[in-house]
Chains A and B, each alone.
Chain A
Amino acid sequence: MLADKNRRAAQRLLDKRILFFGGKGGVGKTTCSAAVALAASRSGRKVLLVSTDPAHSTSDIFERPFAREAREILPNLFGLEIDADFEAARYVADVKDQVAKMFSPAIVGAATRQIDLAASMPGVGDIALFDRLTRIIAARDSAYDLVVFDTAPTGHTVRLLQMPELLRTWIDALAVQRRQAVARDRDRRQAADGVPDDEPDAIVVALERRRDRLEQVRARLIDRADTSFVLVLVPERLPIEETARAAAALSDAGIAIGAVVVNRVLPDGLEGEFYASRRRQEAVYRTEIDTRFAALDRIVIAQLESDVYGVSRLERISAQIFG
């Protein structure tokens, strides 16, 4: 019965192209995302598992190092760990390369100093991480059937997913302001020498291109057929509250929630007063989860007798999820 429900919910996840796994720290996001990615790759899909959590436990769970570029970890399963500082440095280096190709050495020198200064500001790492993510998400001809993101704890991830909208608004405001300034300057020149000027402004062009790209990413994130967020929690007070907040924030952002994974549920058939007491408490929380997240698919995973690392234990989690 339970296995059936799990299997149906899990199959629906496998129909997606992009899955985000999020939840409070320590509830088992990495385990669940790795188990789903593993099962998907075994079912013949080409899967990319991306870790954006700075803790990077993904490589620990597979007992294999993940690189900053996608690499095949197991047959059909590719892994990648995103490092925000590295991505920021790479982004800045790319911009400098472009600048060096397009401008004279005098401009390159001055622009490079400005770029270095701006790139040292706090918060740049976050956008660099976001930018790397968007390149994976927006890739039109993705080489993968399914991309699974193992994300940092909830708050950070939800902010990250709200970014396209926030950044688009900013970029748009900049473009509007610049367009007005350019239009007024053109009126002036036409009044002065009577020659209309239709040359597009390089700044406006660049801003509009950026805005369009952000819109594409946003469209991909809110595409309910392709993209889902999976919320992982354990049956305890604090994770339940955090999951409820995340669910609200995600639906505000228009992002579909694929399932709620109730992880580390006590297994059946144990004895003793300690177990019985734990079990009673858990029953209360599980009822609460069933009521509060009644509208969402729920996947229940029982605790193993040992912690989860290595492919063979991961397979046992996959087996629980996919029944």
Chain B
Amino acid sequence: MRWSELRRNVSDAWRGMFYLRYEQDLQREAIELNDLFMLMVYMEIVGLPNPVTLYLLELYPHLLSEFHLWHRRMGVDRSPLANFRCC
């Protein structure tokens, strides 16, 4: 292995680590932002009245998979309401 090759490999690895960190940061931030969004959509699940509930019904099917991940991440294994049976 020549010096220049080694240097490129080290720099690639360095850049890779940097990008991995960057990617993880972005992912964490995206999840946190979306968690707050999900809370704003599903406020009544935690017992808070939501004035726009009726206008959010049309969003529910789009959000089903995210809803599942969300309530798991919130530390609730099963869907928080018994009759919700999301999983």
Interface contact B26-A95, CB-CB below 8 Å? no
B31 proximity list for chain A (CB < 8 A): 181
19 pairs, CB–CB < 8 Å, chain A vs chain B: A95-B57, A98-B58, A99-B61, A102-B61, A107-B64, A110-B64, A114-B67, A118-B56, A118-B60, A166-B51, A173-B40, A177-B40, A178-B37, A181-B30, A184-B29, A184-B33, A185-B26, A185-B30, A206-B58
Interface contact B84-A188, CB-CB below 8 Å? no
Q: Does A121 contact B (CB under 8 A)?
A: yes
Interface contact A124-B53, CB-CB below 8 Å? yes
Interface contact B53-A121, CB-CB below 8 Å? yes
Interface contact B51-A123, CB-CB below 8 Å? yes
- A78-103 CB mask vs B (1 if < 8 Å, else 0) is 00000000001001100100110011
Seed contacts A99-B58, A203-B59; 15 additional CB < 8 Å A-B pairs:
A92-B57, A111-B61, A113-B84, A114-B64, A114-B67, A118-B56, A121-B44, A121-B49, A121-B53, A128-B54, A178-B34, A180-B33, A181-B34, A206-B58, A206-B62
Interface contact A124-B54, CB-CB below 8 Å? yes
- B8-43 CB mask vs A (1 if < 8 Å, else 0) is 000000000001001100110111011011001100
CA distance A107 to B22 in the complex (A): 34
Interface contact A127-B23, CB-CB below 8 Å? no
Contact partner of A177 (CB less than 8 A), chosen from B19, B26, B36, B84, is B36
Contact partner of A127 (CB less than 8 A), chosen from B29, B54, B81, is B54
B64 proximity list for chain A (CB < 8 A): 107, 110-111, 114
Task: Please give the residue numbers on chain B whose beta carbons come within 8 Å of chain A beta carbons, in ascending order.
Answer: 19, 22-23, 26-27, 29-31, 33-34, 36-37, 40-41, 44, 49-64, 67, 81, 83-86
Task: Please give the residue numbers on chain A whose beta carbons come within 8 Å of chain B beta carbons, in ascending order.
Answer: 88, 91-92, 95, 98-99, 102-103, 107-108, 110-111, 113-115, 117-119, 121-124, 127-128, 131, 166-167, 170-171, 173-174, 177-178, 180-182, 184-185, 187-188, 191-192, 202-203, 206-207, 210
Q: Which residue of chain B has the shortest Cβ distance to A88 in the bound complex?
A: B54
A173 proximity list for chain B (CB < 8 A): 40
CA distance A313 to B61 in the complex (A): 54
Interface contact B22-A171, CB-CB below 8 Å? no
In angstroms, how far is the closest chain A Cβ from the Cβ of B24? Answer: 9
Interface contact A108-B54, CB-CB below 8 Å? no
Q: A115-B57, A188-B26 are in contact. Are A167 and B62 (CB under 8 A)?
A: no
Q: A110-B86, A111-B64, A170-B51 are in contact. Are A118 and B57 (CB under 8 A)?
A: yes
